[in-house]
Amino acid sequence: MKKKLLSAVLASACALSLCACGSGQPTVASGIDVPPAGASNPFDFVGNTVKPEVVIDGSDSDELWQGADVAHVDFSSCNVSILRRPQAVYVYFKVLDVTPYSYVSQGDADEVTFSDSIEIYIDAMLGRTTTPQANCYQINLGRDGRTRIMSGSNGVWYLWAGMYTFEVREGWNDEHDYYFLEAMIPVGQMGIGANEDIGIAFGHVDRSVDDNRNLEDFYKWYGMDYKQTFIDPQDPSKYLILRHDGGKLLTGAEYFK
């Protein structure tokens, strides 16, 4: 069993984003790769640290993962569980992937998007804008332990610094063809209160060729369909709604009705 543990406080390297276009391939976002002036400090929140309520070990055996307040969604080859707690959002991915490959050149954060990885998108204030704006966040977590985190502004994803804890666990025996990723993301750093609902979306990258070259045919991006509707991660107005008290995910129409 291979384990990778990362408790990270880091900034991603530049403004490369996964674009949910027809090809499903990453494209370079326009604009500069520095945060806009006046960006808030993600570490300036009460407590500044959060102790996980579950053991972050790549397993969903903790009692909290078994509760009725855990939301579940399936897309592509992923099964995702989402747990909303007052101080953090917990996400657990079970991914069927028989090609455990990554691309490493300079080892920078953007290479996560060419490798086996999962993606979490958050609309912290339910702004429901049609492009990434302030209070929108993209978190890329790699099967090989590398990461990239970004925040939105004026339709562009920029580098961001934040706190999160995650672990990847490779499956074995009957689950040999899977990998599992468990993560905790503190909500205070995104300005989310304990009783506030958020927008959320997911994606993942599957690298299918064991060749360390950056070729588009060697990896594919997959987004999420929910109730026969594509949840475009580049369009926060389409994100699903995760209520502060958990339970099933809601579409915008269901939530605002």
Q: Tell me the pLDDT tens digit for each residue of 24-52.
A: 333 333 333 444 444 555 545 455 578 89
Q: Return d(Cα 30, Cα 92) in angstroms, integer.
A: 32
pTM of the full structure: 0.84
Q: Tell me the pLDDT tens digit for each residue of 121-161.
A: 999 999 999 999 999 999 999 999 999 999 999 999 999 98
Q: Are 133 and 235 in contact (CB under 8 A)?
A: no
| pLDDT at 49 (0 to 100) | 72
Is 45 part of a structural domain of the chain? no
The total number of residues written for the chain in this structure: 257
For strand 161-170 and strand 136-142, is the pairing parallel, antiparallel, or unpaired?
A: unpaired
Is 150 part of a structural domain of the chain? yes
Is 117 part of a structural domain of the chain? yes
Is 225 part of a structural domain of the chain? yes
Is 226 part of a structural domain of the chain? yes
CATH number, residue 94: 2.60.40.1190
Q: What domain range is 158 assigned to?
A: 3-39+54-256
CA 90 from centre of chain: 11
The number of distinct structural domains making up the chain is 1
Q: Which two tokens stand for residue 181?
A: 């990723």
What's the sign of the alpha-carbon dihedral 22, 81, 241, 90? negative
Q: What is the band of 205 on the pLDDT scale with cuts at 50, 70, 90?
A: very high
Is 78 part of a structural domain of the chain? yes
- 3-class secondary-structure state, position 25: coil
Q: Return d(Cα 180, Cα 215) in angstroms, integer.
A: 26
The DSSP line for 143-186 is TTS-EEEEEEETTEEEE-EEEEEEEEEE--GGGTTEEEEEEEEE
Residues 6+ apart with CB under 8 A from 71: 81, 82, 83, 84, 242, 246, 247, 248, 249
Q: Return d(Cα 14, Cα 32) in angstroms, integer.
A: 9
Is 44 part of a structural domain of the chain? no
Residue type, 106: Q
CA distances 76 to 180, 214, 219, 230, Å, are 15, 23, 14, 12
Is 210 part of a structural domain of the chain? yes
Q: Which residue has the tokens 């300036």?
A: 44
pLDDT (average), residues 228-248? 96
3-state helix, strand, coil in the chain (%, to 5): 10, 40, 50
pLDDT (average), residues 74-80? 97
Q: Which residue has the tokens 């579950």?
A: 54
Does the pLDDT of residue 3 top 80, yes or no?
Answer: no
Backbone dihedral region of 179: left (phi > 0), alpha (psi from -120 to 50 degrees) or beta? beta
